[in-house]
Structure 1
Amino acid sequence: MFWFTISILFLTGVAALWLRKRLRMKQARSWPTATGAVAATSVTLRSGGAQPGSAAYYAEIRYSYVVAGQNYPGTLRQRFILKGRADKWIENYANCKQLTVRYNPRKTKDSLLLADDLDAPISSSN
């Protein structure tokens, strides 16, 4: 019974995190946009600790954007099992001359990059 309870609590936590991420992405679609630029990209292999086979590649994009003359940094991370997939994902962003960055109008330093905006033109809703 103890392990069953622990499993249910764990699954509830995972579901809550997933729902929170989805809700934030949905909200971000209505946020204003700013022009951004890729500052740096990287792909790193991280061990899963003591669990065999749990290592993964983490792709990271660091970007910057400007709102009302103020410069802000942002970071986007994605987990991949295959290095080739991580490299390809990074390449999509690294080849962008400009990024469409969505930022929270109530907390300007809170930002997101949405995949749908990758090839979209920059809108001037600042």
Structure 2
Amino acid sequence: MPEEERNLAMHFASALKKDRLFGIIDHHVVAEENTAEIKEVAMLAERCLRVRGEERPSMKEVAMELDGLRTMPKHPWMKNDSKETESLLSELAGVNAQVNDGSPPDYDSDRQQIILHGR
């Protein structure tokens, strides 16, 4: 058995090195719009698998990198035309205007609730 197929970590590292990453990832996971994120996570995982401890990132560094990937605005909704978003927001504003007569809401500190006028 070739050395690169002895264990999962070595198989993963070999696929990454030979640019065959998407050949080992389940096709349900891969979509055209997420390939960059998958590559970034794979590169991070490869660094975590390094034998020498000083070459591996700390768990804090890993968490920070993953958090950075997660918080990037890459959701498909973010690609939509802003007119649709503005339309939805104006509809919401219209509903709020019907519920509220324009005066500021009161705050009931005993019940920790905002009380809308006109209800």
Using structure 1 for the length normalisation, give the TM-score. 0.25
Using structure 2 for the length normalisation, give the TM-score. 0.26
Greater strand fraction, Structure 1 or Structure 2: 1
Q: Which has the higher contact order (CA 8 A, sep 6+)?
A: 1
Larger radius of gyration: 2
